[in-house]
Amino acid sequence: MSGDLINALFLQILTGLQLGMIYAMIALGLTLIFGTLGVVNFAHGALYLIGAYCAVIIAGKLGFLYAVILVPLILFVIGIILERGLIQYFYDRPHTDQILVTFGLAIVAEEALKWIFGANNIPYPVPSWGQGIVMLHEYVPFLSGFVVFPKWRLILILVSLVVIGALFFLLQFTRFGLVIRSGMRDAEMVRFLGINITRRFAAVFGLGALIAGIAGVFGGPITQVSPAVGMKMLVPSFLVVVIGGMGSVAGALIAAVVLGMALSFTAEYSSIQQIIIYLVAVVVLLTRPRGLMGKKGVFE
């Protein structure tokens, strides 16, 4: 293989990873909320949006590091308030009712932000330490010549990997995670063992919102910050959840990478790029109707 081809491939993969990771952070919240509470949360894109707007304001007034700390906390609180104040009354209702109420919520958030900040994109400058490009050829031995990648996009990939790693650790290696995983498989039995699983599931909703907030802080400069971005992010993230299998965390992660790569490798053919994620969804769902790692009986 020629050096140019290796360079191009490497950049495509890196771009795909960056696209996939931002969807993954939104999709993980979506799939966790669905897997625990059984709710399809169409307001999840709006949580990303709120995260991004909060980040712009806090970064502008106090500095970026404050945004990194405060925005996830704010979103966690918003998530808990949303779950306790509204969503919990819809657990026993049909999925269509849940979709209507969360979709309605997304529209309210979008219109409210439009009312306050206007419909246009508001500037969200990357902090000075995240600006510029990284000379990848200086660090990666098999690259030749001159290969560069925007520094902020690399930071986004790293942050996503840390967030996703932390989430996996929480779910796989802590007691809280054990209870959540058990509750996802048989919530009633977990209740029979004396655990108030509903309260812990509410925390999961907050956790999903928190991750969407982190995605908003770091993804905002790339996706831009305008009221329409919420829906723009929600649709591919929702496809990620469906392709990965409703309620599956590992499935969402794999699907996010697959979609990111599909988008990256079709970037030169914009007409194909427009439809590629739907094409992938169709192919996966035709061959595996429950998604890559979906479980029997979920959403059927």
* Pairwise CA distance, residues 36 & 182, whole Å: 10
Q: How far is the CB of 292 from another protein (least distance, A)?
A: 17
Q: How far is the CB of 190 from another protein (least distance, A)?
A: 7
Shortest CA distance to 36 belongs to which of 185, 209, 141?
A: 185
Residue whose CB is less far from another protein, 189 or 279: 189
Q: How far is the CB of 178 from another protein (least distance, A)?
A: 6
* Using rule CB under 8 A, residue 297 touches another protein: no
* Pairwise CA distance, residues 59 & 56, whole Å: 5
Residue whose CB is less far from another protein, 190 or 252: 190
Interaction pattern, residues 69-98, with another protein; x per rule: CB under 8 A: ------------------------------
Q: How far is the CB of 157 from another protein (least distance, A)?
A: 30
Window 197-216: residues binding another protein (CB under 8 A): 197
Site size toward another protein, by CB under 8 A: 17
Which letter, b or e, does each residue of 82-106 get, where b requires 16 or more Cβ atoms within 10 Å of its Cβ?
A: bbeeebbebeeeeeeebeebbbebb
Q: How far is the CB of 285 from another protein (least distance, A)?
A: 24
* Using rule CB under 8 A, residue 196 touches another protein: yes
Whether residue 56 contacts residue 220, with contact meaning beta carbons closer than 8 Å, is answered with yes
149: tokens are 């990648």
* Using rule CB under 8 A, residue 57 touches another protein: no
Residue 63 phi, psi (nearest 5): 120, 155
Q: How far is the CB of 195 from another protein (least distance, A)?
A: 5
* Pairwise CA distance, residues 39 & 61, whole Å: 36
* Pairwise CA distance, residues 182 & 190, whole Å: 7
- Give me the helices (H) in the chain, please: 3-37, 44-61, 64-85, 95-117, 151-173, 175-192, 197-223, 229-244, 249-265, 270-287
Residue whose CB is less far from another protein, 66 or 169: 169
Whether residue 167 contacts residue 211, with contact meaning beta carbons closer than 8 Å, is answered with yes
Shortest CA distance to 216 belongs to which of 2, 48, 24?
A: 48
Residue whose CB is less far from another protein, 16 or 183: 183
Q: How far is the CB of 56 from another protein (least distance, A)?
A: 41
Window 166-195: residues binding another protein (CB under 8 A): 175, 178-179, 181-182, 185-186, 188-195
Q: Which residues bind another protein (CB under 8 A)?
A: 175, 178-179, 181-182, 185-186, 188-197
